[in-house]
């Protein structure tokens, strides 16, 4: 058995841009939003890999394509050694129960007309249709206790609007884990939670990872959050990974100017050490027509003429630490 649960190679996801009637009539070239544009990484069993970057960096689309919630435009995703593109519909459906998602907005991801017990047990209905009502109920109760919705019998019949935001997110976590997946895509799972419960939810996710042998792909725009849960981190910019490595190593020695800027923008609670700086000027450029050369060059304070012409490739600068920048060669 390979050490790697997920192996992603040169993954691309381009969305075709809707053409208006005139453009179609004139046979204008089809344009694409290059949301993910050549991403490669591997995820070990039991590991937490963070995908981080500003909005528009392609982190959520990468996660969705890895789980085959979106079809890739190019590239391969191997899950437990199996190329997902080689699977038929039914095989993919069976594989799906081994991969689950925790979404950012619990209110939108729980059916308001279903009780928590029904919502959490729904995955068992879909993937284990032979399971008896009694067994399903028992499993749901166990999972609710496990995520801290306790006493579970009390919460079982509650509806999403009757509980707090933190409890809703616990229900979303329970729903994702009820089928005992191997891989969990956690898409900004605490971004909408109250500041007061964020640390508790991260603790919960850490504990469940150990107890249930989970592997997380953790998507976040916030490097401070990633620090509490990720083993490794991949920094994305405009559909590409610009730096990747062990989280402690990357945070202690960030090499790409974009990583440094993201880390500098993290608020520091100690007023004596305040170092929060704004992100580099400008916004992420349009992914329809990314800048030539290094995609970060229009915002990079260290850009040279070479940066606008030649795209830097990801290269290993220390064991397991890769960077795509001409300055780091
Ligand atoms: Fe900046 Fe050039 Fe490095 Fe890109 S390659 S991050 S523009 S220095």
pLDDT digits (tens, 9 = 90+) for 174-210: 999 999 999 999 999 988 888 888 999 999 999 999 9
- Ligand 1 centre distance from Cα of residue 257 (Å): 7
**87 touches ligand 1 (CB under 6 Å):** no
**What is the whole-number distance in angstroms between the Cα of residue 77 and the centre of ligand 1?**
29
pLDDT higher than 60, residue 275: no
pLDDT beyond 90 at 23:
no
pLDDT at 302: 93
**What's the rounded Cα separation, in Å, for the pair 322 and 106?**
35
Quote the CA–CA distance of 266 and 268 in Å, as a whole number.
Answer: 6
Burial of 178 (0-12, 13-18, 19+ CB in 10 A): buried
Confidence of residue 83 (pLDDT cuts 50, 70, 90): very high
Best residue among 241, 282, 296 to mutate for probing ligand 1, ranked by most atoms within 8 Å of CB: 296
User: How much is the pLDDT for 32?
Assistant: 86
Tell me the pLDDT band of 305, cut-offs 50, 70 and 90: very high
Q: Is 327 in the pocket of ligand 1 (CB under 6 A)?
A: yes
pLDDT attached to residue 107: 84
Q: For 146, left (φ over 0), alpha (ψ -120 to 50), or beta?
A: alpha
Reported confidence tier of residue 281, pLDDT bands at 50, 70, 90: low
pTM for the full model?
Answer: 0.91
Query: Six-digit token pair at 101?
Result: 């998602």
pLDDT tens for 142-172 read: 999 999 999 999 999 999 999 999 999 999 9
Of the pLDDT bands very low, low, confident and very high (cuts 50, 70, 90), residue 286 is confident
pLDDT band at 20 (very low <50, low <70, confident <90, very high): confident
Q: What is the pLDDT of residue 276?
A: 59
């Amino acid at each position: 058995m390979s050490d790697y649960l997920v192996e992603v190679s040169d993954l691309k996801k381009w969305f075709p841009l809707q053409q208006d009637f005139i453009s179609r009539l004139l046979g204008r070239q089809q344009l694409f939003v290059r949301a993910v544009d050549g991403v490669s990484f591997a995820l070990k069993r039991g590991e937490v890999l963070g995908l981080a970057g500003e909005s528009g960096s392609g982190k959520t689309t990468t996660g969705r394509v890895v789980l085959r919630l979106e079809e890739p435009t190019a590239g391969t995703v191997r899950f437990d050694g199996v190329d997902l593109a080689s699977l038929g519909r039914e095989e993919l459906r069976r594989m799906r129960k081994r991969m689950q998602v925790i979404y950012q907005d619990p209110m939108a991801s729980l059916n308001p007309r279903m009780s928590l017990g029904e919502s959490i047990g729904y995955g068992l209905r879909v993937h284990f249709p032979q399971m008896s009502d009694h067994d399903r109920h028992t499993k749901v109760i166990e999972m609710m206790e496990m995520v801290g919705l306790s006493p579970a019998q009390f919460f079982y019949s509650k509806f999403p609007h009757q509980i707090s935001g933190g409890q809703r997110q616990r229900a979303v976590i329970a729903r994702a884990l009820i089928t005992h997946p191997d891989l969990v895509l956690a898409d900004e799972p605490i971004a909408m939670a109250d500041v007061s419960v964020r640390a508790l939810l991260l603790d919960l996710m850490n504990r469940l990872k150990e107890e249930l042998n989970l592997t997380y792909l953790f998507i976040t725009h916030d490097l401070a959050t990633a620090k509490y849960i990720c083993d490794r981190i991949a920094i994305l910019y405009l559909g590409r990974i610009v730096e990747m490595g062990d989280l402690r190593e990357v945070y202690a020695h960030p090499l790409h100017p974009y990583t440094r800027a993201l880390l500098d923008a993290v608020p520091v609670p100690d007023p004596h050490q305040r170092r929060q700086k704004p992100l580099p000027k400008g916004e992420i450029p349009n992914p329809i027509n990314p800048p030539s050369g290094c995609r970060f060059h229009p915002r990079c304070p260290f850009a040279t003429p070479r940066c606008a012409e030649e795209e830097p490739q990801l290269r290993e600068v220390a064991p397991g630490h890769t960077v795509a920048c001409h300055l780091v060669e």
